[in-house]
Amino acid sequence: MEILISAEPEEPGFPHELEECVRNAVEKVGELYGTTDAEVSI
Residue 10 has a pLDDT of 63
Residue 6 has a pLDDT of 74
> Residue 42 falls within a domain, yes or no?
no
> Residue 37 falls within a domain, yes or no?
no
> Residue 35 falls within a domain, yes or no?
no
Range of the structural domain that residue 19 is part of: 2-30
Quick one: three-class SS letters along the chain?
CEEEEECCCCCCCCCHHHHHHHHHHHHHHHHHHCCCEEEEEC
Give the β-pairing of 2-6 and 37-41: parallel
Residue 9 has a pLDDT of 65
Residue 35 has a pLDDT of 85
> Residue 40 falls within a domain, yes or no?
no
- The total of structural domains in the chain comes to 1
> Residue 24 falls within a domain, yes or no?
yes
- The pTM (predicted TM-score) of the whole model is 0.64
pLDDT digits (tens, 9 = 90+) for 7-25: 666 666 777 888 889 889 9
pLDDT digits (tens, 9 = 90+) for 27-42: 898 899 898 888 887 7
